[in-house]
Structures are given as structure tokens and as C-alpha cells.
Structure 1
Amino acid sequence: MFEKEYEAFWKDQVRNASGQRLEMLHRDLTGTKIMLKTLLVPVFGSFEGLVLEHEMVSVSGVKIFGDTLLPQLRIIFEEEHYVTHAERITRDRFSFERARARSVAMLGFTYFPYSRDELEKKPEFCQRNLFEFIGRIGNAEGVGLLQLPVYEREVMRFAIMRSKPFELSDVSLWLQLKHETCRKVMRELELKGLVRSIGGGKIRCHEFMLTDKAASLLFRHSKFGD
């Protein structure tokens, strides 16, 4: 059953990919497949919502890819084989991998790596780790999604689909409201700990990002109801 579902999932990913991401999807994905089979599908119940070879741009401007992304919680899952990520790695490659991990964090994603040995020999342990992490961010204090004003909910929904920082002009486009009104909406979201500002000064910021607390609210509502 897993093999058939994986094949359908992979074909769907390929169908919606282009450029370098398409090339990445045609490389050897044995490690990613092991991670899906022993960890992600058992924990999340299906392939729904997962993205293979998520494309990002690092802080140095280089394209980087995450093995598997869960957009709702902004988690990048990585399968790392000891031979390719440690035993045979060069110093330059080691430095690149560290810089890559920093870039993932700076883009607002949680970097969640597993070794292949762990996935193959201790799958239950790996699953418990992930369940615990989801539980921790899911237990964030605050209001439920449906208790938020509609404009605040809409900003969160659009932002999670965007999967990258957004500006006040984006909020204005999403809500079809003037900037001053949108600024008030964003101020409320910041006070509730659902968005954080990036760059700018004390009075005005350049961009915004959803927090883990916001992502967990959206995830819990979409998957389990609120």
C-alpha cells in the first residue's frame, strides 16, 4: 500500500515542479522515502500537505532544497546518511551544510533532521520525538483560530500559503483594505504573538512572518478542528 501511495505522491510532486526542483525530484530519494515510510506518514496519517524538495534561496543567494516540508507548521524534515553527511564530507561541504541550516532558520522554518540509522533502527523513537515537538508548539497559550477576528484569520491563512516573509502591501492586497487599517490588524497579531516583524525600525518594519504559535493554530484547525 505504501509503495502505491508513494508513487502517486511522487508523480503529483513531479507534475507541479519545474527547473532545478524537478531535477532534484528525479535524483535518488531513497533516504527521503525511508523518512516518509517510517516517520512522516505514520505520524501525520497520509502524504497530504507534504512537499518534497522544497526550494528556498539561502542568505547568500544560492538555491537550497529541504528534503520534505510541512507548510502548516513550517518544518523542514531532513534525512541525513552518515556516509554522505559525515564520513565522506569535505571541510567546505561541512561549512556549507552549517550555513544551509542557518539559512533555513533565518527563512523562518524549523530544521528537523534525522539520521538514516535512527529512522531504520529506532522508528518509534523518531516518531515520539516528532509527536512531542508538535505537542509543544500545539500547546502554545492563546486564543483558538476561530476566536480571532476574520481579518486576522485571513492574514494568517494567506501567510501560511505564501511560505515566506510578507509586507504590509501584501496584507492590503489580501484583505482589500487600506494600509492604515491593515497596520492595525498586524499590530493585533503581533500583540497576540502570532506574527513577528523583520527588519525596519521601532516604528515601521519591512516584513512580517508567522510565528510557530500561529502555525500550530492553523495546523490544529485544518487537521483536527478547533
Structure 2
Amino acid sequence: MDFDENYAAFLEFHLARRSGERRGRLERGHAHAEVQFLRKVWWPLRSDFEDLHPEYEVSDWRGRSYFADFAWLPGNGELKLLFEIKGYASHVRDMDRQKYCHELNRETFLHAMGFQVISFAYDDIEQRPELCINLLRMVLSRYHPERAPGSRRLLAEKEVIRLAVQLARPLRPVDVERHFELNHKTAVHMLQKVTAKGWMRPVPRGKGERIVKYELVRGVMDYL
């Protein structure tokens, strides 16, 4: 089935299992932005809606109901991701100081309750969905590595790429040594492996062309 058929079945499944305000919230709150997130970001990456819950109800620090746009609750429940699609008008332009404080307090409380809140800008979903897909791929491979390609070696190589992204500069072997607690020879070997795959390129220094750093190749995020 294509997106439209799967989406219709997904929405009907959750509507059939809700009543009262929880059903009403799904009918009212699940609107264009949420559908676009599914169509342009989630579906191209995942091709299913397994373990995804729209308009998911949780309590905030005051005990009041709060509905996240989506919750992803795979496996045994240890991983709990909440996704929010934030438009400029409702989350920035029209927000006063009290609403701003409440939003920060809610996200901090949810973190304490074991949830991770992941936010996407509506403008990015509409205009730059490939960016959202790459960022979401990084998030899911970080928290749910069993969906990432199989071997421990490949996961370690992808962790090298994430380290380079986090540091926002070319990697030195010593960076990999410290991050993975490895010896120098093994760190260099890992950098050579990701370089051989075309994910990074060496940065030589001096006339002798000695390799001292490795930088990311543009577009490498598509592989994560």
C-alpha cells in the first residue's frame, strides 16, 4: 500500500481505540502540519507507522493533560520519544512570557519522566524535508540502533561521523581515542575505514603531506 492507504488505516486504528476528549483531540488536533510530517518525513524514512501514536496524551508538571503531536514507543517501553511540529506563528510570534515558561517547564518535566522531546519546524518540513529526514535518521539510529544496519563495526563507524558533527570541526585521531577509549593505532584505523567508504577525507599538513585530521564529506549525513 502507498502512503495514503497506510495513513488512512493508521488514523482509523487510533480513532477506533479512543473516546471522549482523547478522540476529540485526535480529530481536531491532527491537522495539516502533522500529516505533512508523516508524508514528507516519517514515511520516506520508515515506510510504516509501527509504534507511532498521534496526539499522545501525557501529564505535565501540574498534572494537566498535554497532547504531544506524536509519540514513538517501540519495544518494551524503555524508549519514549515525543515529536512536536512547531509553526512560527503558534510557537514564537504568538507566545507570551508565561506560555514560554510553561513550555520549557513541560519539556523539562517530560525529560524527568523518561521522555525525549524532538521538535521540527513546520517550515523545514514543508521546504526542506530532506534535512528533517536526515536529522530524524540520526535520532532514531542513536536511540534505536537495531533498525540501523547490522554490525557493531558499522555502528561504531557511524558514531565517528556523529562525533565529527558534534565537534563541528575535522577529527583528529586523539578525538576518536578519547571518545571510544581506544589506542592510537585503532583510532587511526577507524578513521581510515570511514575515509575508504567516502564518508570523510584526509586533511594533510606540511610538505610531507602528513595526514593529521579528517573532515566530513558533504552529503555524508544521507548515510546515517
User: Considering the TM-score relative to the shorter chain, is it more than 0.5?
Assistant: yes
- Give yes or no for the alignment of 1:30 onto 2:32: yes
Cα distance, 1:109 vs structure 2: 1.0
Please state whether the residue corresponding to 1:108 is helix, strand or coil. Answer: coil
Cα distance, 1:138 vs structure 2: 4.0
Alignment correspondent of 1:136: 142
Alignment correspondent of 2:21: 20
Count of residue correspondences: 141
Alignment correspondent of 1:64: 66
How far apart in 1 are the matches of 2:58 and 2:134?
Answer: 28
How far apart in 1 are the matches of 2:111 and 2:19?
Answer: 25
Q: For residues 59-208 of structure 1, what are the structure 2 equivalents within 5 Å?
A: 59-72=61-74, 73-138=79-144
Change (3 A) 1:128 1:63: same
Tell me the C-alpha RMSD between the 2 structures.
Answer: 2.0
How far apart in 1 are the matches of 2:145 and 2:14?
Answer: 32
Cα distance, 1:111 vs structure 2: 0.4
Alignment correspondent of 2:192: none
Deviations 1:130-189, CA, capped at 9 Å, x for gaps: 11122223459xxxxxxxxxxxxxxxxxxxxxxxxxxxxxxxxxxxxxxxxxxxxxxxxx
Maintained 8 Å contact 2:111/2:117: yes
User: Which runs of 5 or more residues in structure 1 are unaligned?
Assistant: 141-226
Please state whether the residue corresponding to 2:95 is helix, strand or coil. Answer: coil
Deviates more, 1:87-96 or 1:32-41: 87-96
Please state whether the residue corresponding to 1:26 is helix, strand or coil. Answer: helix
Among all aligned residue pairs of Structure 1 and Structure 2, give the percentage whose two residues are the same amino acid. 26
Alignment correspondent of 1:148: none
How far apart in 2 are the matches of 1:15 and 1:138?
Answer: 29
Deviations 1:106-145, CA, capped at 9 Å, x for gaps: 22111000010011111111111111122223459xxxxx
Alignment correspondent of 1:202: none
Cα distance, 1:92 vs structure 2: 2.0
Deviations 1:200-222, CA, capped at 9 Å, x for gaps: xxxxxxxxxxxxxxxxxxxxxxx
Counterpart residue type for residue 61 of structure 2: V
Cα distance, 1:32 vs structure 2: 0.9
How far apart in 2 are the matches of 1:135 and 1:53?
Answer: 24
Counterpart residue type for residue 134 of structure 2: R
Counterpart residue type for residue 24 of structure 1: R
Counterpart residue type for residue 15 of structure 1: A
Counterpart residue type for residue 131 of structure 1: R
Counterpart residue type for residue 104 of structure 2: R
Counterpart residue type for residue 20 of structure 1: E
User: Which runs of 5 or more residues in structure 2 are unaligned?
Assistant: 147-224
Cα distance, 1:8 vs structure 2: 2.0
Counterpart residue type for residue 64 of structure 2: V
* TM-score for both structures, normalised by structure 1: 0.58
Cα distance, 1:79 vs structure 2: 0.5
